[in-house]
């Protein structure tokens, strides 16, 4: 599957003040629902003194890319005034595999539902503008394990193709490789033939 999708180029934040309330929009690209959840938790921890930390994310939750998981929460703001507007910005810009948290420090003036919708939308919009948007192809991770004798061969194939990978050298050598879905099967075949089938692929 070579479908491309739009996502964020980089993590970013945007800050502004509305009638004394400070809003901080945080956005970042994520690879999975678990990564989105841990980003939300990290922001909540860092901004634990805030009045609200409103999360939203859109993540392709399976390798085939058929199922889009959307999530948002108002985190104590009036229903529909915070999480949904934040999520709507991601949806309107057709962004996937991205998460946002909007942090609010209450400034003493009630903004009303309309004011909150505008502020939460603006926080995400401005953070997305700062982050930039890129076209990505869906990727998967392949775990490749080989003996030391074959590790040089595997490494040179990965490097020649320009794939991102982490290598760890223990009793045997394992590579954690990030590969576009459309190319994953061809890479598996190539590694099998280069090592005469001595490679362990997950």
Domain CATH code at residue 31? 3.30.230.30
Residue of 77, 86, 12, 33 lying closest to 41 (CA atoms): 33
How many residues belong to the chain?
Answer: 202
Residue of 195, 157, 200, 194 lying closest to 179 (CA atoms): 157
Domain, as residue range, for 153: 139-201
pTM score: 0.74
126-144: pLDDT as tens digits: 999 999 999 887 778 899 9
Do both 23 and 80 map to the same domain? yes
Do both 97 and 45 map to the same domain? yes
Do both 85 and 149 map to the same domain? no
38-78: pLDDT as tens digits: 999 999 999 999 999 999 999 986 555 568 899 999 999 99
Domain count, the chain: 2
């Amino acid at each position: 599957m070579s479908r491309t999708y739009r996502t964020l180029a980089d993590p970013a934040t945007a800050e502004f003040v509305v009638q004394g309330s400070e809003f901080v929009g945080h956005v970042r690209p994520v690879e999975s629902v678990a990564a989105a959840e841990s980003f939300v938790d990290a922001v909540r921890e860092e901004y634990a003194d805030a009045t609200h930390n409103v999360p939203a994310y859109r993540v392709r939750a399976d390798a085939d890319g058929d199922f889009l998981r959307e999530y948002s929460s108002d985190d104590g703001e009036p229903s529909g005034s915070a999480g949904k507007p934040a999520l709507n910005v991601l949806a309107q810009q057709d962004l996937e595999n991205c998460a946002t948290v909007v942090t609010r420090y209450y400034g003493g003036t009630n903004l009303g539902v309309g004011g909150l919708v505008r502020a939460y939308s603006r926080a995400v919009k401005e953070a997305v503008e700062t982050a930039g948007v890129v076209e990505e192809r869906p990727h998967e991770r392949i775990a490749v394990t080989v003996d030391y004798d074959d590790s040089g061969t595997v490494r040179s194939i990965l490097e020649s193709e320009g794939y991102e990978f982490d290598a760890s050298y223990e009793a045997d050598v394992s590579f954690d490789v990030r590969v576009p879905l459309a190319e994953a099967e061809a890479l598996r075949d190539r590694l099998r033939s280069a090592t005469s089938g001595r490679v362990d692929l997950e």
